[in-house]
């Protein structure tokens, strides 16, 4: 699909394995039941230079762009996708997928979600959670700001690298599982902790954590968590 525009309908754009979708726009979808996806492609596909936004589902989940295993999403914008409650995702990338140079703005749940894949050089702002990484995902070189909950959430086995995480409504980076690497990030002016770690065998290194409510939170009873060579300054809590 190239240069296709879909507006104000019920159904978006969908394709199978190995698809190429470029320069398409899907906006203004409205649905009351079943899930809504603006652009959906199966495994090993490419979605690039697309715009998907202002889609609404009052009865179920809504996602701007969803790609399956091994796919690539490049230079796309996903904005104001909203589902029932808080289930509107901007970009949802399947196992091993790459999300590169994309913008997720104003989605009601995750801006970008990667599962064992990679988000690089992306911007996520004004979502509930900016970027969610799970199952060995990587977030690198991203700008994550002004999200109402956490800037970046990481579960198990992920890498969060060299990103700017600023002015989010909860933690800057929230690590909720084990064996994560949080390295070289700037976490500034977030409500709650700049970096919050609740798991075992996590490494927090070479980060700049400045001007948050708390600096870096590590459980004292955690097994093998390490925090080294971080700059932690001007955070508001007495414990810094």
Secondary structure, 3-state, the chain: CECCEEECCCCCEEECCCCEEECCEEECCEECCCCEEEEEECCCCEEECCEEECCEECCCCEEEEEECCCCEEECCEEECCECCCCCEEEEEECCCCEEECCEEECCCCEEEEEECCEEECCEEECCCEEEEEECCCEEECCEEECCCCCCEEECCCCEEECCEEECCCCCCEEECCCCCEEECCEEECCCCEEEEECCCCCEEECCEEECCCEEEEECCCCCCCEEECCEEECCCCCCC
- pLDDT above 70 as % of the chain: 98
Model confidence pLDDT, tens digit, residues 30-50: 987 778 999 999 999 999 999
As a whole number, mean pLDDT of residues 73-97 equals 92
- pLDDT above 90 as % of the chain: 82
pLDDT at 91 over 70: yes
Q: So what's the pLDDT on residue 219?
A: 78
Give residues with Cβ within 8 angstroms of 99, minimum separation 6: 73, 91, 93, 112, 114, 117, 118, 119, 120, 122
Model confidence pLDDT, tens digit, residues 115-169: 999 999 999 999 999 999 999 999 999 999 999 999 999 999 999 999 999 999 9
Determine how β-strand 20-22 pairs with β-strand 46-48: parallel
As a whole number, mean pLDDT of residues 172-190 equals 96
Kindly indicate the confidence band of residue 240, based on its pLDDT and cuts at 50, 70 and 90. Answer: low
Q: So what's the pLDDT on residue 87?
A: 80
pLDDT at 204 over 70: yes
Q: So what's the pLDDT on residue 127?
A: 97
Give residues with Cβ within 8 angstroms of 166, minimum separation 6: 143, 144, 145, 146, 151, 172, 186, 187, 188, 189, 190
Q: So what's the pLDDT on residue 86?
A: 63
State pTM to two decimals: 0.95
Q: Dihedral angle at the C-alpha atoms of 78, 82, 88, 89, nearest 10 degrees?
A: 0
Higher-pLDDT residue of 235 and 97 is 97
Mean of per-residue pLDDT scores for the chain: 93
Kindly indicate the confidence band of residue 209, based on its pLDDT and cuts at 50, 70 and 90. Answer: very high
């Amino acid at each position: 699909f190239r240069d296709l525009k879909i507006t104000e309908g019920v159904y978006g754009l969908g394709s199978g394995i190995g698809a190429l979708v470029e320069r398409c726009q899907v906006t203004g979808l409205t649905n009351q039941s079943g899930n809504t996806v603006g652009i959906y492609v199966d495994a090993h596909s490419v979605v690039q230079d697309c715009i998907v936004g202002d889609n609404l589902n009052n009865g179920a989940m809504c996602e701007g762009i969803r790609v399956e295993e091994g796919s690539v999403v490049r230079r796309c914008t996903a904005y104001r996708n909203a589902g029932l409650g808080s289930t509107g995702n901007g970009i949802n990338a399947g196992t091993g997928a790459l999300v590169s140079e994309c913008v997720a703005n104003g989605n009601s749940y995750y801006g970008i979600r990667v599962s064992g894949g990679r988000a690089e050089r992306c911007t996520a702002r004004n979502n509930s959670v900016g970027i969610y990484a799970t199952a060995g995902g990587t977030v690198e070189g991203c700008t994550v700001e002004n999200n109402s909950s956490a800037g970046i959430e990481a579960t198990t086995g992920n890498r969060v690298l060299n990103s700017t995480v600023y002015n989010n409504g909860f933690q800057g980076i929230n690590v909720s599982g084990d064996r994560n690497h949080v390295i070289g990030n700037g976490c500034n002016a977030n409500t709650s902790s700049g970096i919050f770690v609740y798991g075992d065998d996590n490494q927090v290194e070479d980060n700049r954590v400045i001007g948050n409510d708390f600096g870096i939170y590590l459980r004292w009873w955690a097994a093998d968590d390490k925090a080294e060579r971080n700059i932690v300054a001007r955070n508001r809590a007495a414990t810094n």
